[in-house]
Amino acid sequence: MQIDVFDYSPSDGWGIERFPAMDSERTLVLAFGDSAFQDDPAPFAALRCAYPNARLMGCSTAGEILDTHVRDGTLVVAVARFEDTRIETAVAPAGLSNRSREVGIALAEQLAAPDLKGVLVLSDGLHVNGSQLVEGLNAVLRGSVIVTGGLAGDGDRFRRTWVLDRDRPVARTVAALGFYGERVRIGYGSRGGWDIFGPERRVTRAVGNRLFELDGRPALHLYKEYLGELASGLPATALRFPLALRADARDEKRLVRTILAVDEDAGSMTFAGDIPEGYLAQLMRTNLDHLVDGAEDAAVMTRNRGSNGERTLAISISCVGRRMVLGERTDEEVEVALAALPPDTRQVGFYSYGEIAPYASGACDLHNQTMTLTTIHEV
């Protein structure tokens, strides 16, 4: 397996003199970049020209990851050529958010095969209900293959996101990539580093990913009481205080949800994933060291599910909320993640509006506020 990573800047052009000569039907080209590339798709045309037979996949970001660095306004690219692993892509229009489950089913059905080992999913970050999307994927794949990925970002603006459809960056789209064969190995890990605080409250009214009431009180008003002065910066400031959900007091599995929008008139909040009625909800906060430790823990989980010797591609997807909290220390989480992975690993990725991976094993879940890593190599 051959791997190379490089970048592109609108001001400086490509960061390499020539594209690596790795074109084939078993070549994957991943490209993660600023939302502004939707207006300037020329770099994707250049990649397609250089790799006419490859599978090209990518999405917009809230920050790009290249090895140990995080940057903005650029395009980061990974080119991986497999020896024996077959790869196939499927793309579907996102449509309405309440149709996200059907999108997940359609993509999974296109990729399903006896030798399917893993799926990488990249989704529109604003018009897709991530919980329903993974529910659709799980309905077909049933936890039999590893499914990871993330929701595209747009910095802290939350205005527009894109996903590549072949070599075109388009809105309201979901893409999935299947890995097939006996030699491919896929590792994964997802951790947060957030701490719960305050009382646990019952979700008494919610519809899909829209939360209206906690303990019979308007959710937005209650949330503002906790934020205090930060409430004036909603929804962006809510990235610092996500919500932890669990089915009941005996459930040790907590899913984290991040706010995407607020409705002042209805007193409601819209999240990146569903908020089931009857669940228990609790606020979360963190300190910087815990977030960095969480990224390292995710990488250790990923490494332990993979191997320590082969050349490896690492796809790191971290939440925009983590970046806002980490600030100038953001590079630290990608540094510790790469350091915990096998020595011959190249890392690309992006800051997202939601991360997709199994919670521990089996079927995939939608996460927020995590560092989620996927490693891919051949044996």
201 within 8 A of 249, measured Cβ to Cβ? no
Tokens 């296109």: give the residue. Answer: 110
Kindly state the helix (H) or strand (E) to which residue 137 belongs, with its residue range. Answer: helix 130-141
Tally helices (H) and strands (E) across the chain. Answer: 7, 27
pLDDT tens column, 319-356: 998 998 999 999 999 999 999 999 999 999 999 999 99
**Res 258: pLDDT:** 84
> How many Å is the maximal CA-CA distance in the chain?
61
- Contact (Cβ atoms closer than 8 angstroms) between residue 164 and residue 364: no
Tell me how far apart the alpha carbons of residues 76 and 64 are, in angstroms, rounded to a whole number: 7
- C-alpha 126/C-alpha 159 separation (Å) is 8
- Looking at residue 236, its pLDDT comes to 80
The residues, any chain, with a CB within 8 Å of residue 154's CB and separated by 6 or more, are: 35, 60, 62, 125, 126, 160, 161, 353
Only one residue has tokens 């003199």, namely: 17
What span, in angstroms and rounded, lies between the C-alpha atoms of 313 and 294? 20
pLDDT tens per residue, the chain (379 residues)? 999 999 999 999 999 999 999 999 999 999 999 999 999 999 999 999 999 999 999 999 999 999 999 999 999 999 999 999 999 999 999 977 789 999 999 999 999 999 999 999 999 999 998 999 999 999 999 999 999 999 999 998 889 999 999 899 999 999 999 999 999 999 999 999 999 989 999 999 999 989 999 999 999 999 999 888 988 888 888 888 899 999 999 998 898 998 878 999 999 999 878 899 999 999 998 889 999 999 999 999 999 887 666 899 999 999 998 998 999 999 999 999 999 999 999 999 999 999 999 988 889 999 989 999 999 999 9
- Sequence spans of domains, the chain: 2-191+289-378, 195-284
- Output helix, strand, coil percentages for the chain, rounded to the nearest 5: 25, 40, 35
String of b and e for 49-85 (b: at least 16 CB within 10 Å)? Answer: ebbeebbbbbbbbbbbbbbeebbebbbbbbbbbbeeb
Residue 3 φ/ψ, nearest 5 degrees: -140, 140
What is the secondary structure of 268-330 as a DSSP string? EEEESS---TT-EEEEEE--HHHHHHHHHHHHHHHHHTS-SSS-EEEEEEEEHHHHHHHGGGH
Spatial CB neighbours of 344, under 8 Å, sequence gap ≥ 6: 309, 310, 311, 312
Q: Which residue has 């490896």 as its token pair?
A: 312
Q: Which amino acid is at 269?
A: M
Joined together, the tokens standing for residue 105 give 């089913």
The distance from CA 258 to its chain's CA centroid, rounded to whole angstroms, is: 13
Give the pLDDT confidence of 254-293 residue by residue, as tens digits.
989 988 789 999 999 998 788 999 999 999 988 899 999 9
- Matching residue, tokens 């983590």: 322
Q: Report the alpha-carbon distance of residue 68 to residue 319 in Å, rounded.
A: 16
Q: List strands edge to edge, sheet with 371-378.
A: 69-71, 64-66, 345-352, 312-319, 371-378, 184-191
State percent of the chain over pLDDT 70.
Answer: 99
- Interatomic CA distance for residues 227 and 84, integer angstroms: 52
Residues 130-146 pLDDT 10s? 999 999 999 999 999 99
Radius of gyration over every alpha carbon of the chain, rounded to an integer in angstroms: 19
pLDDT of residue 98: 80
Token pair of 66 as six digits: 């290249």
Q: What are 214's two structure tokens? A: 């906690």
* C-alpha–C-alpha distance, residues 126 and 271, integer Å: 10
What pLDDT does 244 receive? 94
- The two structure tokens encoding residue 103: 């999108």
